[in-house]
Amino acid sequence: MKKIFRGYYKLTDTEIQEIWDNGFISLDTNVLFNIYRYSDDTRKELIRVIKKYASQLWLTNHSAFEFHKNRISVISDQIVIYDETIKTFTKLENDIIKNLKTPHLSKIVLKQFEKTIKATTKDLEKKKTFYKKLLLNDTILATISTVFNNKIGDGFSSEEISKIEKEGEERYKKKMPPGYKDNDKSENKYGDLIIWKELIKKAKTNKKPFILIIDDVKEDWWLRTYGQTISPRQELSQELYKETQQLFQLYTPDRFLEFASKTEAVKQETIDEVREIRIEDYLSYYTNNDFPNQLYSTSPIGELIKTNDYLSNISEYKLTDDIAKYIKASDKLSDIYQSNDFLKRLEAYKNLGVISKNWTSNSLSDILKAKQLYSNLGNLKSVAEIQNSFKTVSENSLVDAYLKTKRKDNDNKDDNTEN
């Protein structure tokens, strides 16, 4: 069975080491883009480590094309970021020093503040100038070009691209990875699929496994469940093995550096900064896309589990103490919700610290009625709502509070209608 469905089985340590020793290593476009976002020290350290694997490096033609096509935009974005940050510090300086409405500071503190602001602004201006110079003389591009010299794939013909895009239409309808999360893009919506097809072609031609270093956060690359990143999507591993009899491993840049550090000294500061940039990307993506929709569910425990999934995208190691506390009891809470036993649920809330252990009720029937109303209408969707319902509403008037809230909502709707 394993031989037929190899992609659905976890890689052994021996197989992973085999991939590192004999496979080729490829980088996703976003990994190349993020090199521009790192500090000088981190950029140099990352490139130094990558060079150690020079004989194994190989870049897909499509990744290289997208990198060259959008490189200027990435640099321009950095200039804008530094420019906006400088404006923020300048405004802060004006507000504190020149605006008489602000609280008065002692002369010593004021001088220290002004000195710090000027030094910070000067450093930011220096970095902004660095990026502006890159527009005319891109030293980072020169370095990347040298690293990947004669290590770029041939790519596909126009006819082959058209065929892949047509296949992509059907794959995306079925949510078959990779790339279906880009289905709403107006441009390069099949980019991930084209890259994947290039990797399969390379693995088949060279009869080698491979490592893909990727900064993509989306579920169409990663298999995640209950807060854990398990592996690359199993459909990808199965597709690759079926067509090439080869294996592959997926790494984020920081995890790649951590694994590389087993045999090659890597500065911890570099790993930390690379991880921080990844976190920023995840926060940005989930804030603008999946997270608001994934956060809510028909029960608080559903929210907690999905929140944990989200946090696992940000960091595979660090959960906030509160979320970790909730997730540890997730199985127990799931059973409680299925049983719909409010007394057990109430006790669980107390044990988890969602509500005070001292919270009592003299009118449990009213609370049960209110909770039933909330559950039926799907309004109890977050831990915050649970907490607010217990903290801000008196013990025996949850029903009244609920009805008042509904009346207020209806009044607001009426006002909007009139406007």
What is the distance between the alpha carbons of residues 283 and 277, in angstroms, rounded to a whole number?
Answer: 10
% of the chain beyond a pLDDT of 90:
50
Question: Which of the pair, 225 or 318, is modelled with greater confidence?
Answer: 225
Q: What is the pLDDT of residue 25?
A: 98
Q: Is the pLDDT of residue 376 over 80?
A: no
State the burial class of residue 6 (Cβ atoms within 10 Å of its Cβ: 0-12, 13-18, 19+). middle
Mean pLDDT of 315-332: 42
Say which range, 120-134, 141-155, 316-330, 385-399, has the weakest mean pLDDT. 316-330
Q: What is the pLDDT of residue 411?
A: 53
Q: What is the pLDDT of residue 246?
A: 97
% of the chain beyond a pLDDT of 70:
65
What is the distance between the alpha carbons of residues 415 and 249, in angstroms, rounded to a whole number?
Answer: 56
Give the closest residue to 217 by CA, choosing from 282, 273, 294, 271. 282
Measured CA distances, 275 to 27, 38, 68, 215 (Å) = 16, 11, 24, 10
Q: What's the pLDDT tens digit per position in 73-82?
A: 999 999 999 9
Q: Which residues contact 330 (CB under 8 A, 6 or more apart)?
A: 226, 301, 304, 305, 308
Q: What is the pLDDT of residue 285?
A: 61
Mean pLDDT of 341-351: 56
Residue 134's identity, in one-letter code, is: L
Residue 241's identity, in one-letter code, is: Y
Q: Is the pLDDT of residue 412 over 50?
A: yes
Q: What's the pLDDT tens digit per position in 247-270?
A: 999 999 999 999 999 888 999 999
pLDDT band at 347 (very low <50, low <70, confident <90, very high): low
Task: Please tell me what DSSP assigns to residue 248.
Answer: E
What integer best gives the mean pLDDT of the chain? 77
Q: What's the pLDDT tens digit per position in 146-172?
A: 999 999 999 999 999 999 999 999 999
Q: What is the pLDDT of residue 190?
A: 95
Q: Is the pLDDT of residue 293 over 90?
A: no
Task: Answer yes or no: pTM beyond 0.85.
Answer: no
What is the distance between the alpha carbons of residues 347 and 198, in angstroms, rounded to a whole number?
Answer: 55
Q: What is the pLDDT of residue 301?
A: 47
